């Protein structure tokens, strides 16, 4: 059995033999990926990328030293990054909010006007907790085009799909 980060004495970070996923975070991840794949079929004028290859990294940021794979895809229209969808589930402790910054900063570097939507769940999504603080800080530092949906209890499949669809319809 794999140990998760939600055990006493865990020292932080995703270490060998551990996983950042639990049942609720895996559900949120699957919701975003299912919506991503369904919407990719509906939007012929927008290209969805699941994960950047070396060539894309070189073209977009001039180096291939990073990973970039938002859970709900990176969406391009006319060669411009227009939307990204990310999921983060966090307990009262944890570092999901720290891991969020890497993809968000990469997206902002590629296009400062990208609409970057994050679905946040778990106890860390409650008012005043880690993901809520991330939301507030990101909107101050990065702009209102960084959109957060907060729900301690998670989201329905329809909610995730419809929120992603709204953003793509306006891209």
pLDDT in tens, 99-122: 799 889 999 999 999 999 999 999
Structural domain includes residue 4: no
Identify the band that residue 158 occupies on the pLDDT scale cut at 50, 70 and 90: very high
Structural domain includes residue 155: yes
Structural domain includes residue 8: no
Which candidate, 43, 110, 40, 105, places its Cα nearest to that of 82?
A: 110
Structural domain includes residue 81: yes
Domain limits for position 62? 22-169
Single pTM value for the model: 0.85
Number of structural domains, the chain? 1
Residue 122: both structure tokens together: 């778990």
Write the CA distances from 142 to 78, 92, 115, 150, 166, integer angstroms.
23, 24, 11, 18, 21
Structural domain includes residue 68: yes
Structural domain includes residue 150: yes
Write the CA distances from 88 to 44, 66, 118, integer angstroms.
28, 19, 7
Residue 34: both structure tokens together: 């299912």
Identify the band that residue 19 occupies on the pLDDT scale cut at 50, 70 and 90: very low
How many other CB atoms sit within 10 Å of the CB of residue 61? 15
Identify the band that residue 14 occupies on the pLDDT scale cut at 50, 70 and 90: very low
Residue 125: both structure tokens together: 């999504």
């Amino acid at each position: 059995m794999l140990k998760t980060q939600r055990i006493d004495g865990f020292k932080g970070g995703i270490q060998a033999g551990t996983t950042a996923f639990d049942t609720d975070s895996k559900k949120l991840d699957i919701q975003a990926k299912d919506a991503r794949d369904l919407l990719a079929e509906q939007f012929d004028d927008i290209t969805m990328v699941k994960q950047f290859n070396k060539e894309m990294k070189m073209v977009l940021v001039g180096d291939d030293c990073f990973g970039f794979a938002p859970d709900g895809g990176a969406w391009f229209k006319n060669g411009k990054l227009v939307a990204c969808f990310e999921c983060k589930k966090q307990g009262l402790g944890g570092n999901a909010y720290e891991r969020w910054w890497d993809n968000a900063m990469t997206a902002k570097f590629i296009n400062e006007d990208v609409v970057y939507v994050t679905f946040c769940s778990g106890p860390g999504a409650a008012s005043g907790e880690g993901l809520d603080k991330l939301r507030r800080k990101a909107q101050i530092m990065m702009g209102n085009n960084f959109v957060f949906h907060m729900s301690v209890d998670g989201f329905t499949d329809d909610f995730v799909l419809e929120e992603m669809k709204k953003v793509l319809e306006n891209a």
